[in-house]
Amino acid sequence: MTGDTQPDPVPVLILLGPPGAGKGTQARRLHETFGLVQLSTGDLLRAAVAAGTPAGKAAQTVMQAGGLVSDDIVLAVLSERLADPDCAAGVVLDGFPRTTAQAQALDEMLDRSGQRVNAAISLEVDSAGMVSRVVGRFTCGDCGEGYHDSFKPVKTTGVCDSCGGQNMTRRADDNAATVMSRLDAYHEQTAPLIAWYETRGALRRVDAMGGIDRISEDIAAVVAAQITTTSHHAEAAL
């Protein structure tokens, strides 16, 4: 420990990139490789919608239209989840921050517990190809494995190749019209965060157009360096 009140710093990683860039897939792999907790504000909001909470009811219409949910709602669901004990292992944020105001709020939130963003990893893709990547994708609701009608079909319709589950799910907002709006929201409100983190020396760029395994390796190299740095900081503070 670094003192009576300050816990050791834990890694805080951010995945940046448009819808379809592979943030969810790569965040899941970072969980498997490094034990980092995947915090997806999209998942947290979808859970709130499914549970019919006031936040979920307010978010639902905006999500169906492909716009951005208000910072107040997003910050509330995120900070509640961040307070869970498992997040002390380190987190990978997927889909957050999405605006400069959210990035500032995150810095303030982390600052209060002596933490900081270690790296914002930008998944660099050709945006023009993202609509076809997103429309047609589906996920195993049991193990989380991702598939696509054209690019990665299952061997047996309705059955997960990975775990054998028969619980395939498709997101309501993965239709062409909503994806176009989500891409517009990304370019207008989220893409400026790339320069924002670059200015702060935290940006790491990864080419995310190749095979999933190669991309995972490139991301893992960035994360491994950050985790080493974080533990050195903790040791130096002893």
Interacting residues toward ligand ADP by CB under 6 A: 19, 40-42, 45, 62-63, 66-69, 74, 95-96, 98, 102, 182
**165 with 141: CB under 8 angstroms?**
yes
182 is catalytic: yes
Of 10 and 183, nearer to ligand ADP (C-beta) is 183
Q: Which residues pair with 204 in a beta bridge?
A: 121
**147 with 167: CB under 8 angstroms?**
no
Of 21 and 203, nearer to ligand ADP (C-beta) is 21
The active-site residue out of 171, 200, 204, 214 is 171
Of 20 and 90, nearer to ligand ADP (C-beta) is 20
Q: How far is the CB of 89 from ligand ADP (least distance, A)?
A: 22
Known binding residue 137? Answer is yes
**123 with 15: CB under 8 angstroms?**
yes
The active-site residue out of 137, 170, 200, 204 is 137
Known binding residue 144? Answer is no
43 burial (CB, 10 Å; 0-12 / 13-18 / 19+) is: middle
137 is catalytic: yes
Note the maximum CA span of the chain: 56
Query: Whole-angstrom Cα distance, residue 58 to residue 198?
Result: 33
23 is catalytic: yes
Running DSSP on this structure, what letter comes out for residue 128?
G
Binding site, annotated residues: 20-25, 41, 46, 67-69, 95-98, 102, 137, 140, 143, 160, 163, 171, 182, 210
